[in-house]
Structure 1
Amino acid sequence: MTSSGKRRPLRIGVQVSNQHATYAQIRDTVRELEDLGVDILFNWDHFFPLTGDPDGRHFEAWTMLGAIAEQTTRVEFGPLVNCSAYRNPDLQADMARTLDHISGGRFIFGTGSGWFERDFTEYGYDFGTAGSRLDALAVDLPRIRERWEKLNPAPTRHIPILIGGGGEQKTLRMVAEHADIWHSFVDPDTLVRKLDVLRHWCAEVGRDMSEIELSTGTTLRGMGSTERADLDAYLDLGVTLFEYAIVAGDDLSLVKRMLAWRDSVNG
């Protein structure tokens, strides 16, 4: 629901991973997904594959986002999610603002604290602890927002901030303070509790929770009755952004079914 009491339209996001594909395959998949009518395209901010051959093909996220910004004309896009530890926060703000201009105001700044240890150790970043990484993100987010206020030219719009994760003491407080979109990875029953925690933090910081769009990752294998029931359960909890992950070159028949479901819900 929005602050006006109206339900947001249901949206479908597809994450095209940076792994196990040529750049040409990724480019062509991005083109096909935009043509199909996907609402948001995501990649991820890692340096190595997360599944399959750990030393297989892999490309860097932000340079690829620049190509997506120029290649596409309609779809929103962004990282799911940027790792704030890899880049100075003011630089992140400038990169996001630049992508916002390249794309004509379609960039979503998805961000988080990082978790894949190999990325950190092989590229020379301090891995620290989950807590220390979240503490650093909490410091970075205000700096990013402050830099957006200083840049010339300014962003073309309020750049949406998406925060991923469900930590109840740190992550959800940051969501309440900074996020336009909260992306979760939990089942509907767990989401009920997480939403209660987020509601608490929104009250603590004086934020209207209806301002935050709810997003979830999906692990669909089809669109049968059981999976449709799960999707309906998420809808009943207020989730309006559903993300599905693929590798470039995958069959897109399930994406097409998700888009048909979206259209039937939106009417």
Structure 2
Amino acid sequence: LYSGTLSSPVHETVPRKVSPKGEYISHNLTSFQDDGQVHFNVTLDNKEHLLILEPVRNFLAPALITERRKRDTHARSKPDHKSKNCHFRGIVHGHPNSRVAVSTCNGLTGMLHTEHGKYYIEPSHHSIKQIDPGHPHLIYKRSALVSGSSKKKKKKKRKKHFRDCGTREPKKMTELEWQKQLGKVKVQEKKHKNKHKIDIPSVHQSQMKKHKYKKVDGREKRSVSKPQYVETLLVADSTMVEFHEDGDIETYLLTIMNMVITF
């Protein structure tokens, strides 16, 4: 997550895949949904911690799409099978009210919460495209992160930028156009101060009839509906992509969403 920009205290550990009883299995941490429940041993504050994790099966909507944009071109595709199926949640054994959310695609990356606070965990030198078994990991608290404002940077003349969603991009990059599909929202760049144009497809009357009500014991009860999802647009700007270099930005973004849902 933030390797290379950390202050003390930072804990280094070599996670191990273990049995439910804590017996060593392997230093190969890669795990997927089909593996079912998995267990890892990590060292924190000179103590062994057993992570008990379950695969996250209701994590992503079936119709999830990844869109990559470069200037005037963009491509839409489904997320890589690997990056979708390596996310886990669970607890730290022996720690009441503990929580863990990690991805296991390439080492352990995510967050764990104990009575001592919230800790981030990630492979050391995270930019390595594929780490080897036995690779050291870093565990640290949020307070260990070095603020980017503490670094002095030379000021350079840049083209006029527009702020949007906390990022700074050239004017052409501020416009997001989603394909005209039912349920999609088209967001256009700001044309007038404090005014945004948002076009939401109208709901046809026939669609409203799908939400039928049934009377049960004199009361009206809504019929059982299909699983619902919260539609979220997650954007990685050029700075984030450059930070990860050749790393898997898609897995990183999904790891963040797993952490958000868990914590």
The TM-score range, normalised by the shorter chain, is under 0.3
Q: Which is strand-richer, 1 or 2?
A: 2
**Max radius of gyration: which structure?**
2
More helix by share: 1
- Structure with more contact order per residue of length (Cα contacts < 8 Å, sep ≥ 6): 1
- The TM-score normalised by the length of structure 2 is 0.22
Normalized against structure 1, the TM-score is what? 0.22
